[in-house]
Amino acid sequence: MYPIIYTPTEGKAIQNFSRIFRRPEGCFLNIGDIDRVYHDLAQWGEPQDIDYIVVTDGEEILGIGDQGTGGILISIAKLVLTTLCAGIHANRTLAVGLDCGTDNEKLRNNDLYLGLKHPRVRGEKYEDFIETFVQSARKLYPKAYIHFEDFGLPNARRILDKYRPTMACFNDDVQGTGCVTLAAIMAGLHVSKTNLEDVKVVIFGAGTAGTGVADQIRDAIATESGKSKEEAAKHIWCVDKPGLLLKRHGDKLNPAQNPYARDDSEWDGDKDIDLLSVIKTVKPHVLIGTSTKPGSFTEEIVKEMASHVSRPIIFPLSNPTSLHEANPADLNSWTDGKVLLATGSPFPPVTHNGTTRDVAECNNALVFPGIGLGAVLSRARLLSDKMLVAAVKALSAQSPALKDPARPLLPDVEDVREVSVQIAKAVVRQAVEEGLATQEGIPEDEGELDEWIRVQMWEPVYRPLRKVSKEVASRDASGEMGIAGSAAQD
């Protein structure tokens, strides 16, 4: 059912949101009514009712771009996955859509479109809108973990960086993609017998996902080696529209790209430096594609890389399938079966010289639900870099390739509930170690902590009904949660 409740079906539903709309789901807030934000958010329950909020402004939905108010469905889909994959109770989640207008002219010209029919509002008014939402959510639901989803490139990282120091929040496009990719890399390095501190990585496509992957790799290298983040960033070469990112590109670089711009003195001449030139010079262990440029990992590039390392690690991660940088079957053939693979979309197994191997999928659902579960159960004040690295290590430890190098670098999504338990356990332990956990009574014993997490995960099992008197009924049992509760109290 995964392709039905999430990608690719969810993308089609988002694109057709206004046409298929029947009833509202989630909380809709619009930039024209900033004064109503607190009131509208307050309709969803009491302070103790909400654990997990997913919010989007719908500007950069994966593979389909600006979808305006239809973006609410991506918030809903992510919450479905947190329930399915990590057992976070659906009644304790809240999907939020921020309508700031849309730059999608097709939507604006559609009479059925339900959102604001003007170009996206930016600048000070947008900043005030985001701030009003965040502060209202924190005041109304002080224990809630906030997950930012599919914000546009100019805003995603900036918003995350603004709020990370003061609250437990997460951006799946920046951090989730980076975490699951890093876990696959770590498994690949284990197979290829390469130390993380020695790794050289080339990332083709330095947008939100690409720089997010770079950040997680940098932070892991810094954590493991004791190097500064600046030194760790020197292990990474990013290639984007102007070629290899260099300091001379100046204003062409956004803040997320700046840490990875190389010194001009490292490269001769003033021409743009293409991917093949970077591969020839750097001789990387890892090549990652987040470019949405189909076929950009050519046979020449792949064979050049394979000539320098015994087990090239190559991840064409762009979604959907039509935008992948290379077909896994070609990568397997061009490297004589030596490539260590992971992709952004599902692909069939690859065969070479009679040997068939499954292709690992870098699916964010393997990691973000478990991180969220750990943050929610520990009531973490912040989501730190070390907590993310702990999550990555826990996911990497579940890699089938650790036991058999011929098997995939990442576990199958069918095993995600167990994977989420292990990730949550690592996140909780790290939160406790850093003094960021505020929940009392977290077990210290490994086995007890495991059980403590499992018993708090909701399971979709029908429980027997029993009649209770109103005097002893919970708010949930008496129908007083969320909107129903507000209506009853009014």
Catalogue the active-site residues.
Answer: 6, 78
| Other beta carbons less than 10 A from residue 283's beta carbon | 14
Q: What is the 3-state secondary structure (H, E, C) of the chain?
A: CHHHHCCCHHHHHHHCHHHHCCCCCCEEEEHHHHHHHHHHHHHHCCCCCCCEEEEECCCCECCCECCHHHHHHHHHHHHHHHHHHHCCCHHHEEEEEEECCCCCHHHHCCCCCCCCCCCCCCCHHHHHHHHHHHHHHHHHCCCCEEEECCCCHHHHHHHHHHHCCCCCEEEHHHHHHHHHHHHHHHHHHHHHCCCHHHCCEEEECCCHHHHHHHHHHHHHHHHHHCCCHHHHHHHEEEEECCEECEHHHHHHCCCCCHHHCECHHHCCCCCCCCHHHHHHHHCCCEEEECCCCCCCCCHHHHHHHHCCCCCCEEEECCCCHHHCCCCHHHHHHHCCCCCEEEECCCCCCEEECCEEECCEECCHHHCHHHHHHHHHHHCECCCCHHHHHHHHHHHHCCCHHHCCCCCCCCCCHHHHHHHHHHHHHHHHHHHHHCCCECCCCCCCCHHHHHHHHHHCCCCCCCCCCCCCCCCCCCCCCCCCCHHHHHHHHC
Annotation-wise, does 150 bind a ligand? yes
Residue 316's alpha-carbon distances to 65, 208, 251, in angstroms, are 20, 16, 28
Cα–Cα dist 219/230, whole Å: 10
Annotation-wise, does 327 bind a ligand? no
Annotation-wise, does 173 bind a ligand? yes
**Residues tagged in the binding site annotation for a divalent metal cation:** 149-150, 173
**Residues tagged in the binding site annotation:** 149-150, 173, 319, 363
**Residues tagged in the binding site annotation for (S)-malate:** 319, 363
